[in-house]
Homo-oligomer: A and B are copies of this chain.
Amino acid sequence: MKNQKLYMQIYNYYKGLIEEGKLTEGTKLPSIRRCSVELGVSKTTVEQGYMCLCDDGYILPKSQSGYYVSKRGNSPKKTEKKIQNENTKSNIVFDFSSTGVDAESFNMDIWRRYLKSALRQNERLLFYGDPQGEYDLRCEIAKYARETRNCVCSEENIVIGAGVQTLLNILCPLVKNKKSVCFDDLSYRQGTAIFNDYGFKINKDREKSSIIYVSPSYSTRWGDVMSVKERFDLTEFARQNNKLIIEDDYGSEFRYFNRPTPSLQGLNGGENIVYLGTFSKLLLPSIRISFMILPQGLTEKYKQKKEVYNQTVSKADQIALCSYIRDGHLKSQIKKSRKIYVQKSKILTDLLVENFGKNIKILKTNSPLYVKCRFNIKMSAKDFCERAEKAGILIIPANEENAFPEIAFSVATVGQEGFEQAVKILKKVTECCK
């Protein structure tokens, strides 16, 4: 983020004043507008700084009035806790572990226009919508899934929800009789937790499970892709053994190649497979719209129950997304993001090679969102990441078992103008370890 340092400066400035007791409980902070004028920064930047102060309990917003120093902000106990937090949070300058999106990639103006126009459909907004999701949006999504992911489906098979978890909350009760589910990646707690909530047994053994949950386009966090052969084998295995596959197609859009590997759902003809897709990664993480494609049998089961589940996505968002897809913006948005990520990955790769020379080996990834590499340093990946974090750089290990640290850098949210500084800091960290 371009302004990350700016808003952290605002945060640190007021935090200091409050902790030193120079601003006491109940003192009003300058209004966002005034602060923005005085410091010559945008109101958004000030607001972000204030938000962080709120989050950490230093100040409190008061209705129609402004921001005030809180009681807790001055308490010494809180201060101690703060110092601990600081090492793990406040110092982070470059976050290469983020699941956010690039600030430049999304044209907010277009989305705003569509949402504005959706909000003009007063009459349609007065009623609860179809629990399954708006009909016209389901048509567009079905078309999109058929065209880009080879899925076999019609609007009838589509269920819309505010995030993948909301959809799993509908799906789990429908497949309750299955009792056990296999996750290749048990660290995906957002998924395992939901199945656990419904009493499913969770394991890593496909043979022993009646449901197989896979992310074939992202079988690891940094975008390793399941090959077409593996995909065929998996669907065949599931068909022969009467297992249900849940295909979480997260991240399938961001590949180096224009044509991503076909979805399992498409390969298999839609039988025995529930397909999950999300728009949070394509639009904005803060827009919560996902969908699932149910096979025909589960579609019938769902229909009998659908009236009891209220729709979770606001109708205006659904109407806006429908026109947005229909007018071709989703496709151009994906193209644009892919281009940005490809470019950023290349710049970061070049900088790493330039600075580390023989001490780095760039590893292949399928996703332009990640740069994966191995450092020629005797140290565990975990230690490596911890040291980097202390220096303000958040990175994640790509492989914890290797003797040399393997690291995956997400290029999603760090602005490319920060790459050079980040790589230099990282170099210092590694130098003092040799």
Binding site for B on A (CB under 8 A): 1, 3, 44-45, 47-48, 51, 54-55, 60-61, 63-64, 98-101, 103, 106, 108, 111-112, 115-116, 119-130, 135-136, 139-140, 143, 162-166, 169, 172-173, 176, 189-190, 193, 196-199, 280, 284-288, 305, 307-317, 325-328, 413
Chain B neighbourhood of A98, CB < 8 A? 127
Q: Is the CB of B108 within 8 A of A44?
A: no
Minimum distance in angstroms from A22 CB to a CB of chain B: 24
Q: Is the CB of A103 within 8 A of B128?
A: no
Identical chains in the assembly: 2
Q: Is the CB of A316 within 8 A of B286?
A: yes
Report which residue of A108, A136, A197 has the largest number of chain B beta carbons within 10 angstroms of its beta carbon.
A197
With known contacts A162-B313, A198-B197, A189–B126 Cβ distance under 8 A: no
- 19 interchain pairs (CB within 8 A)? A47-B124, A48-B123, A51-B136, A55-B130, A63-B143, A64-B328, A103-B126, A108-B125, A112-B120, A115-B115, A116-B116, A124-B286, A125-B284, A125-B286, A128-B286, A166-B169, A176-B197, A193-B309, A314-B317
Q: Is the CB of B327 within 8 A of A315?
A: no
Minimum distance in angstroms from A153 CB to a CB of chain B: 15
Q: Is the CB of A310 within 8 A of B163?
A: yes
Q: Is the CB of A126 within 8 A of B51?
A: no
Residue of B nearest to A63 (CB): B326
Residue of B nearest to A122 (CB): B108
Q: Is the CB of A1 within 8 A of B284?
A: no
Minimum distance in angstroms from A324 CB to a CB of chain B: 11
Minimum distance in angstroms from A201 CB to a CB of chain B: 14
Residue of B nearest to A7 (CB): B123
Q: Is the CB of A135 within 8 A of B51?
A: yes
With known contacts A122-B108, A198-B198, A136–B286 Cβ distance under 8 A: no
Minimum distance in angstroms from A405 CB to a CB of chain B: 25
Q: Is the CB of B112 within 8 A of A193?
A: no
Q: Is the CB of B193 within 8 A of A305?
A: yes
Q: Is the CB of B286 within 8 A of A1?
A: no
Q: Is the CB of B162 within 8 A of A162?
A: yes
Chain B neighbourhood of A119, CB < 8 A? 108, 111-112, 115
Chain B neighbourhood of A99, CB < 8 A? 128
Residue of B nearest to A317 (CB): B314
3 pairs of A and B residues whose beta carbons are closest in the complex: A286-B315, A173-B197, A162-B312
